[in-house]
Amino acid sequence: MQRSTCYTSYLLRLWQMQNDQQTTWVASVQSTTTGELRSFPSTSALLEFLQAEFGGCEPTVFRPCTPPSASQPHFGSGENEP
C-alpha cells in the first residue's frame, strides 16, 4: 500500500483467539480512504506492517501536542465537527 503523503488513517481492530490452549491477540487494519482490509495473525505481525508502512515517515522536528483550551473547538465534543 503506497501513500502519497505522510498521513493516513486506519480503523484498528484487535481481538483474542484461542488455539491449542494458547490465547493470542490478532488484528486487522482497514484503510479509511480505500477500504482495504489487512489481517494479522499476531501483534508482532501488525507491528512489522506498521514499521514498514511508517518507518520512512519520521518527523524531522518534534512538535509536542498541546491539549485544546476550553475556547478551542475540538473533535469528539459533538460540537464544531465537520
Parse the chain into domains and list their residue ranges. Answer: 10-54
16 pLDDT more than 70? yes
- Which pLDDT band, with edges at 50, 70 and 90, does 2 fall under? low
CA–CA separation, 17 and 24 (whole Å): 5
- Which pLDDT band, with edges at 50, 70 and 90, does 77 fall under? very low
- Which of 29, 52, 30 has its CA nearest to residue 40? 29
Mean per-residue pLDDT, 8-34: 92
Tally the C-alpha atoms within 13 A of residue 31's C-alpha that lie toward its C-beta.
13
Residue 7 C-alpha cell reads as 498521513
70 pLDDT more than 70? no
Query: How high does pLDDT run on average in the chain?
Result: 77
